[in-house]
Structure 1
């Protein structure tokens, strides 16, 4: 039987790993917009940071997984420049992708598969006067 975390039962196909997993954030705008909103599968909720740079949100996948894709559904307050970072211990981070001209909407970013337990979006430049705001933050892998 295929592992429950693999889509369609095929262990080689990327599956959504971040849904409902614990998050950490550098900040929240207020109690209405916690990090958990970005991984709850509900596009009617969102995480929103304080209105300054830098800001970040990370998700704990629960165990080391092979991750290869991140899908971000931005609210109107989005990241112009940000990095996708990975870690196995939540202390030492490696950059797997850098975005320098984000334009909001949905960013679907694939990168070389890497082993990680934690995946972080590290925003370095906001596109608006507001913070960073994500309706959904999805991490895919096997």
Structure 2
């Protein structure tokens, strides 16, 4: 199989072990503690409520974020709300992802290549389906 030098180099680089959605969560929590419902609304994610909180639990389990419950009182209603904050390992993971993509941008390497679509602007996705396959941070 014929591979271009850029593609070979990209294969050898260690990609960050974090999804774009997980990175977005870390980025939202970088300055302050935020309620889970606010994080979900800001992400505008098309995931179900259980899937969102499972992702948050996984981030907690690996130590990138911390969660705590806080009692919230609203008119005629009182409920427990989950608040999340970024841990030091979470800050390092976020910085590592930013550094990875900054290095790739500085070297002129495309940061995303999916089925012939790159961030260099030379090729456009051929259909809506191809556009959905492209993800970047």
Which TM-score bucket, shorter chain as reference?
Answer: under 0.3
* TM-score, length basis structure 2: 0.22
Question: Rg: which structure is higher?
Answer: 2
Q: Between the two structures, name the one with larger relative contact order (CA 8 Å, sep ≥ 6).
A: 1
More helix by share: 2
* TM-score, length basis structure 1: 0.21
